[in-house]
């Protein structure tokens, strides 16, 4: 892996803090369970029974109130808690898996929350647990036995024989998720003297993929699942994330970020008002027909120098927007700062190195179009059975009475949002149409929003609260309240889109309605 700096957007989104933006709502939860009686003293409970695993140790330690400070997020204060650590192993695997729970000393809301991870990190041990604790949840997360490095899986991906470590990959993809649910809920019940009233999963990116895996493989583990910007088809979309690098290498043209931004701005300017208001956000980026060739010959200023947009640069952009035939392309309006960066996305680059080619020295720079076609076919052929969470059969989750919400930003520069809409469409075809699927699974698209938050569009302010209200009060959300600075919007339930009424304040949600696109 290159030692060059990782783009801040990528590190913010794919480091183990990925779920943090979802875990701290701007407004109180829409439904609140009755406060529990005070917790017991902080002492190690009996070892939980975890099917298929052997518990090695259980420890407990009183945790005083504190503050978590992380880049890109305001300081977060959390209350006193009991920290319980369960270390387990799977016989014959020779692994060591940590499940860590934070249980509030007082004010437990009666709920359990499983906290998702980001990139190659299964869990979020700092901001994620603290965010859940601050809202009164008993919360748990796991490392799956693969550590906490969200960008680089080199410490565990390959076994001594140089081949993929299938057991640890199984932990990462699915097995350790069930361990987390079983152990986390068990220590919660032991500590408080009763089980949680409701259990929720909360995650984005890898955490979103984990949410879907829970619904597909372990449908009874959670009453509600928040699976945001989900990494649904990892073997496909991670290879697709490298398409721009191959295009630039093969076309021998590498536009600067400044040039890429010029194409992004031009697309937004050309299609901005299709939703009835000029706000710098594309409501339906897939319907934007802007042709990058229109910018050929245009002069722009980059770092104080005048640059003329070339035909070669326009062709690179056209290919990136079109995408490789095996997957989708970068949506118009989304930033190029990951796919067009000077170095490839390390999550995707390491995926090909370790899980596809199984060669840490593999160099993407040597890959031509034909070779890329081979990699794009090989990745799902090898890895889908382990980690692809794109099974449209959610009948088990529906029978268990679960509810699931997914939201995804249309300007997500890492996990292109078409993967989410495609999955929802396939679930509808498999399970009897939109109306039946809406009874338990709803998707909300966020125009202008980047990966798990950020960007130029309003992001959901409390999607977990909406999920709680649906599970506990039966209030299925038709919209998700969203905000950015002084602008509010109600994100529409897919496939509906937001349309301006033409007369109200364009910065207020009340001036829009949801309609067919």
Please name every residue paired with 302 in a beta bridge, in sequence order, or none if there are none: 305
Residues 168/173/176/178 CA torsion (nearest 10 deg):
-150
Residues 6 or more apart whose CB falls under 8 angstroms from that of 6 comprise 151, 343, 346
Classify 276 as helix, strand or coil. Answer: coil
Short-list 157, 186, 192, CA closest to 82:
192
Residues 407, 459: Cα–Cα separation, whole Å = 9
- Tell me the two tokens of residue 68: 């978590």
Per-residue HEC secondary structure of 115-176 comes to: ECCECCECCCCCHHHHHHHHCCCEEEEECCCCCCCCCCCCCCCECCCCCECHHHHHHHHHHH
* Rg, C-alpha atoms of the chain: 23
Element (H, E) at 253: none
Name the residues annotated as catalytic: 205, 412, 451
Residues 6 or more apart whose CB falls under 8 angstroms from that of 133 comprise 78, 79, 81, 102, 104, 139
Residues 512, 504: Cα–Cα separation, whole Å = 8
Q: Which residues of 242-268 are buried (b: 16+ CB within 10 A; e: fewer)?
A: bbbbbbbbeeebbbbbebbbbbbebbb
Residues 381, 408: Cα–Cα separation, whole Å = 26
Classify 442 as helix, strand or coil. Answer: strand
State yes or no: cis peptide before 495, omega within 30 of 0: yes
Residues 349, 160: Cα–Cα separation, whole Å = 21
């Amino acid at each position: 892996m290159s030692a060059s700096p990782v783009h801040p957007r990528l590190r913010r989104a794919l480091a183990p803090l990925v779920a943090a933006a979802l875990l701290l709502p701007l407004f109180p939860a829409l439904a609140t369970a009755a406060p529990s009686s005070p917790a017991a003293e902080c002492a190690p409970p009996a070892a939980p029974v975890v099917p298929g695993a052997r518990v090695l140790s259980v420890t407990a330690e009183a945790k005083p109130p504190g503050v978590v400070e992380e880049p890109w997020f305001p300081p977060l204060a959390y209350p006193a808690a009991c920290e319980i650590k369960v270390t387990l192993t799977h016989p014959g695997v020779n692994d060591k898996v940590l499940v860590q729970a934070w249980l509030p000393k007082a004010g437990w809301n009666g709920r359990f929350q499983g906290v998702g991870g980001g990139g190659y990190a299964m869990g979020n041990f700092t901001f994620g647990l603290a965010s859940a604790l601050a809202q009164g949840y008993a919360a748990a997360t796991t490392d799956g036995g693969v550590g906490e490095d969200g960008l680089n899986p080199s410490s565990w991906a390959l076994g001594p024989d140089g081949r993929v470590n299938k057991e640890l990959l199984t932990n990462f993809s699915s097995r350790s998720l069930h361990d987390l649910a079983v152990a986390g809920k068990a220590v919660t019940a032991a500590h408080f003297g009763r089980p949680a009233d409701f259990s929720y999963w909360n995650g984005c990116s890898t955490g979103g993929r984990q949410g879907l895996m829970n619904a597909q493989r372990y449908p009874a583990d959670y009453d509600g699942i928040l699976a945001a910007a989900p990494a649904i088809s990892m073997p496909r979309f991670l290879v697709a994330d490298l398409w721009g690098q191959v295009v630039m290498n093969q076309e021998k043209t590498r536009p600067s970020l400044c040039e890429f931004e010029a194409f992004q701005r031009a697309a937004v300017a050309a299609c901005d008002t299709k939703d009835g208001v000029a706000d710098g956000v594309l409501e339906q980026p897939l319907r934007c027909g802007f042709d990058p060739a229109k910018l050929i010959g245009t002069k722009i200023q980059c770092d104080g120098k005048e640059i003329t947009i070339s035909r070669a640069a326009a062709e690179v952009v056209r290919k990136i927007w079109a995408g490789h035939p095996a997957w989708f392309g970068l949506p118009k309006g989304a930033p190029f700062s990951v796919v067009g960066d000077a170095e490839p996305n390390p999550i995707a680059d390491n995926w090909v190195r370790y899980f596809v080619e199984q060669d840490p020295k593999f160099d993407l720079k040597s890959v031509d179009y034909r070779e890329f076609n081979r990699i794009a076919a090989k990745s799902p052929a090898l890895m889908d059975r382990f980690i692809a969470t794109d099974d449209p059969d959610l009948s088990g989750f529906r029978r268990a009475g679960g509810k699931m919400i997914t939201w995804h930003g249309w300007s997500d520069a890492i996990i292109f949002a078409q993967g989410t809409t495609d999955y929802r469409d396939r679930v509808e075809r498999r399970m009897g149409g939109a109306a039946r699927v809406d009874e338990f699974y709803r998707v909300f698209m966020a125009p202008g929003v980047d990966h798990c938050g950020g960007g130029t569009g309003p992001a959901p302010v409390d999607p977990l609260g909406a999920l709680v209200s649906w599970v506990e009060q039966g209030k299925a959300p038709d919209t998700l309240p969203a905000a950015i600075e002084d602008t509010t919007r109600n994100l529409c339930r897919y496939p509906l889109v937001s349309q301006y009424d033409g007369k109200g304040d364009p910065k207020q949600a009340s001036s829009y309605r949801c309609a067919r696109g």
